[in-house]
Structure 1
Amino acid sequence: MVAQITASNLKSEEYTTLALQQIEEVNIIDTKKALADKISNQESKVSTTSIARYGKPKIISSPESFNTDLFSKGFFYGISVMVIIINIICLFIFSDKVYGYFAFLVATITTLIFTTDGLISVFFKSIALHSTRIETTLLVLGTISASLFSSKFLNSKEVYPRLRSITIPLLYLAGMLTVLFWFIDNPTFMTAASIISFVIILSYFTVGIKLFKTKNYAKFYIVGFIIPLFFNIDYFLLGGMGFNFFGTEANHIKISVVIQMLLLTYAIVYRMQEIKDESILRHIEMKIFLERQDAMSRDNLAQMMRDVYLENLIMQYDLDGIEIKLLQYISEDKSNEKIAKKLSITPNEVEEITKDLYNKLEISEAIKEDHRMLEAQPDYLYN
């Protein structure tokens, strides 16, 4: 009897132990599921942080979900990388900084869109927690690159030299606000930095508008910037403030930026050729100007010599007023009719005065003297 009770107790203890083990396993499974759900929610929250303020949540929590959307995203990023590489190569070939500035601009825009797509959470999950700060930083860097490119492309230093004194302090201010936003979680800093950034870009856009009629490459600049600029203002600035007038989405920005990249890449090449043509034309005009100045100098010298010669004749032969004027007009190779009009006399009177002046100056004797000197020259000088 005792043995039966003991066996029964042992069996009961085994059942109890087995039940406790099963309960513990269930708790572990539930805990793992809860932890997995929590991690998934955190990742989804992180991936949507940069877009949530625009009302367009995007959940990309794993490389697999990235691969499913690879085709739509890969087209944009592939073209961006291609444009960057082409401009870097052109920078080394042509040694023109505008290619480097444009490559920098495309790189910052691409990285900014990469962040707003939520793709940064796939590769850098810890950094993705600060996606809004990263976006603001990239926006300011994009403004710096756009300013460098626009200044070089439009040659604003020569056209509007005072513009730099306005944009440079604004860039410093935007940078300071961005740094403050990293340490102080206040959306006001982000909004202020975004507003300043777009004000700077709009200032260079205004320069392009002013050059629109005179420079053909400025037309490419305006056409290339106008649509992406308004889309970016609507998406990043107004969207961050809770407004969305045009309903701009990331795909709209991508399409406009692709068109902008291709158009401005061609515009840079076109600008190089136009600047080269302007340089050639400038050299030709300078050459013509110098030749004209040289001719004018020779004419002035010849005129001065004629004036001195006439003055000597006047003093030597005691010429009167009409004779002086007649001699001056003859030196200017004027006809008798024109001289008559100048002196208010008839052409016949001009002819008579000319004969008298001819005799008075003893020109015939001077010519005869020249003939005698010519005949006195040795023959070997002409052989």
Structure 2
Amino acid sequence: MNFSIKYSLLFCLLFQSIYSQDKLIIDDAFKSRVCTHDLYYVLDTLKKIEPKDIVNNSEFKINKKSFFGQRNLSIWYRLKVKNVSKETKDLVFSINAECFNNLTIYRHENHQILEIYAIKDLKEKDIAISTSITDNELVEYYFKVDFTKSTYFPLKVFDKHEFSDYKIQNQLELGFFYGISLIILLINVFFYVNTRDKFYLYYSVLLLSIILILAEIDGFFANTIFVKFIDVFLQLVLVVSLSLFTNEAIGIKKFYPRLIKFIFLLIILNTIFYVIYTLSGYLLWYSLGKILNTTILLTYLLIGFLLFNKHVYARFSVIGYLILFISNILYILPFDFGIHYFDFSNRYLKMSSLFEMTVFLYAISYRNGVIKENLIENIKKSDTFKKKSNEEIFESFVKKYDLTLREKEIINYILLGKTNKEISEKLFIQEVTVKYHISNIFRKLDVKKRTEITPMFLQFKLSLEK
């Protein structure tokens, strides 16, 4: 018993020492490492901490805290890297720079602290900094970061060769996502052009806004001077097109007419928040706008659950909107509110959007099938109506000119272009008898030859249709 306790305590102490080690160990098999939660930090509230003083600063704490709602902070991060391999390692620091605009990186070794990277007014969304570390060397890196948005500093460390593969893979993923998205968008546009169904129009606008928002997150508009206005405009287009599409697909006005006014008020309030953010630059209003966007999405998700068994498109909306809602929450928590218990990257946001597009692509094909079935049914009904109308018109024609049953049969064959001989064979009577009935028909219709009968009937039909 004592033996078991002794070894259990030894194991716990060993585990604790490994877990509490604040070093990134680089060995021969090193690939990549996400260091967001392994960083140590110290707040530089007054922005007075100098690089020469940061090494001996005793206030560094493990980066487990979320700075909820705190913005425009200045923070120093520390990362210790030890190379235990037998060769020099070329490393790359890959950082998502969406939440900050100023970054300076220092390297501490041999009792010296050297600046290895500095940039101000950063516009790119992702940056990569190369460095190297010799065999059996321990190096401390210090990152001084000035945040403009929430406090979120996702840092990845790559081996140089693996980073090249990572960039290629990232480019392929971007090409795949935007390629598939544009194909789905073109399918919607094609269906709208051919059917003029607003379902396809509203979803095309919604899909385009999602694609452009993700492109903005990926940094495609980073170097444009109107990037803030583009972002706000796309957010508003997103929420408006989402509302129009959901109302068209599910028919909320039919089931919950009062809810339309509530959502309309949310959209107006959302617009006000974004306008205030655009004019003031205060990011709190932008975050409030994001919250309202998510609230509207959640409202439609709940409506989908309520109508799940009543409307087929409600089932599609539940699946698609649930994926969008979860991914949206996981994305805005770190980037807009500084809650970084989850590392939710742009890659996962695109994957969830692609899944949502796939769900609604199935809904599109389903709706197209329904439209075809309705079209065929309408054509059948139209043919039946026309047939019935022609019979009624013919009966009215016969009644107007007081034709007998035999005369009715004969004039029907005349209208079909039959000769006297063919009529006699059809009715099993003599051709002379056919001529006798035709002479009576001529007298009643006041015509002199059979070629006048068809135009006369068509004129009668036209007058009735008018």
TM-score (norm 1): 0.54
In 2, are the aligned partners of 1:50 and 1:115 still within 8 Å (CA)? no
Q: CA deviation at 1:41?
A: 2.4
Q: CA deviation at 1:70?
A: 2.4
Q: Does 1:204 align with 2:304?
A: no
Q: CA deviation at 1:234?
A: 2.0
State the partner residue of 1:82. Answer: 183
Counterpart of 1:55 (choices 153, 160, 163) is 153
Q: Does 1:91 align with 2:169?
A: no
In 1, are the aligned partners of 2:240 and 2:267 still within 8 Å (CA)? yes
How many positions carry a matched residue from both structures?
236
> 1:300-339 counterparts in 2 under 5 A?
none
Q: Does 1:228 align with 2:324?
A: yes
Q: CA deviation at 1:236?
A: 2.4
Identical-residue share of aligned pairs (%): 26
One-letter code of the match for 1:55? F
Q: Does 1:178 align with 2:279?
A: no
Q: CA deviation at 1:266?
A: 1.5
One-letter code of the match for 1:235? Y
State the partner residue of 2:225. Answer: 126
- Measured in 2, the distance between the counterparts of 1:188 and 1:155 equals 34
Q: What's the secondary structure of 1:78's corresponding residue?
A: helix
Q: Does 1:70 align with 2:171?
A: yes
Q: Does 1:158 align with 2:265?
A: no
In 2, are the aligned partners of 1:205 and 1:222 still within 8 Å (CA)? yes
In 2, are the aligned partners of 1:221 and 1:267 still within 8 Å (CA)? no
Counterpart of 1:107 (choices 204, 208, 231) is 208
- Measured in 2, the distance between the counterparts of 1:259 and 1:120 equals 24
Q: CA deviation at 1:219?
A: 1.3
In 1, are the aligned partners of 2:149 and 2:335 still within 8 Å (CA)? no
- Measured in 2, the distance between the counterparts of 1:51 and 1:250 equals 17
In 2, are the aligned partners of 1:50 and 1:118 still within 8 Å (CA)? no
- Measured in 2, the distance between the counterparts of 1:246 and 1:57 equals 13
In 2, are the aligned partners of 1:143 and 1:198 still within 8 Å (CA)? no
Counterpart of 2:245 (choices 149, 154, 164) is 149
> 1:252-263 counterparts in 2 under 5 A?
252-263=348-359
State the partner residue of 1:215. Answer: 311
- Please give the per-residue CA displacement for 1:334-367, whole angstroms capped at 9, x wherever unaligned: xxxxxxxxxxxxxxxxxxxxxxxxxxxxxxxxxx
- Measured in 1, the distance between the counterparts of 2:278 and 2:167 equals 28
In 2, are the aligned partners of 1:234 and 1:245 still within 8 Å (CA)? no
In 1, are the aligned partners of 2:304 and 2:315 still within 8 Å (CA)? yes
One-letter code of the match for 2:347? N
- Please give the per-residue CA displacement for 1:167-196, whole angstroms capped at 9, x wherever unaligned: 111111111111111110212211111111
Distance 1:52 1:239, change over 3 A: closer
Q: CA deviation at 1:141?
A: 2.1
Q: What's the secondary structure of 2:257's corresponding residue?
A: coil
Q: Does 1:193 align with 2:289?
A: yes
- Measured in 1, the distance between the counterparts of 2:333 and 2:293 equals 10
Q: CA deviation at 1:44?
A: 4.1
Distance 1:127 1:100, change over 3 A: same
In 2, are the aligned partners of 1:112 and 1:135 still within 8 Å (CA)? yes
Distance 1:125 1:214, change over 3 A: closer
In 2, are the aligned partners of 1:194 and 1:237 still within 8 Å (CA)? no
Unaligned runs of 5+ in 2: 1-114, 127-146, 157-165, 382-466
One-letter code of the match for 1:126? I
Distance 1:67 1:180, change over 3 A: farther
Q: What's the secondary structure of 1:162's corresponding residue?
A: helix
In 1, are the aligned partners of 2:313 and 2:363 still within 8 Å (CA)? yes
State the partner residue of 1:41. Answer: 119
One-letter code of the match for 1:41? I
One-letter code of the match for 1:268? I
Q: CA deviation at 1:43?
A: 6.7
Distance 1:276 1:160, change over 3 A: farther
The structure with the largest alpha-carbon Rg is 1
Distance 1:256 1:219, change over 3 A: same
- Measured in 1, the distance between the counterparts of 2:210 and 2:280 equals 25
Distance 1:278 1:95, change over 3 A: closer
- Please give the per-residue CA displacement for 1:117-148, whole angstroms capped at 9, x wherever unaligned: 12222xx34345x3xx6434422321111111
Q: CA deviation at 1:105?
A: 0.9
Unaligned runs of 5+ in 1: 1-36, 59-64, 285-383
Q: CA deviation at 1:87?
A: 0.5
Pick the structure with more helix per residue.
Answer: 1
TM-score (norm 2): 0.45
Q: CA deviation at 1:52?
A: 7.1
In 2, are the aligned partners of 1:50 and 1:116 still within 8 Å (CA)? no
- Please give the per-residue CA displacement for 1:243-302, whole angstroms capped at 9, x wherever unaligned: 245432211111111111122022133245457879979xx9xxxxxxxxxxxxxxxxxx
- Measured in 1, the distance between the counterparts of 2:148 and 2:182 equals 23
- Measured in 1, the distance between the counterparts of 2:237 and 2:176 equals 24
In 2, are the aligned partners of 1:80 and 1:110 still within 8 Å (CA)? yes
Q: CA deviation at 1:152?
A: 0.8
Indicate the RMSD between aligned Cα atoms, in angstroms. 3.5
Pick the structure with more strand per residue.
Answer: 2
Identify the range of structure 1 (111-120 vs 133-142) with the bigger mean alpha-carbon deviation. Answer: 133-142
- Measured in 1, the distance between the counterparts of 2:363 and 2:216 equals 28
State the partner residue of 2:236. Answer: 140
Distance 1:272 1:50, change over 3 A: farther
- Measured in 2, the distance between the counterparts of 1:223 and 1:114 equals 24
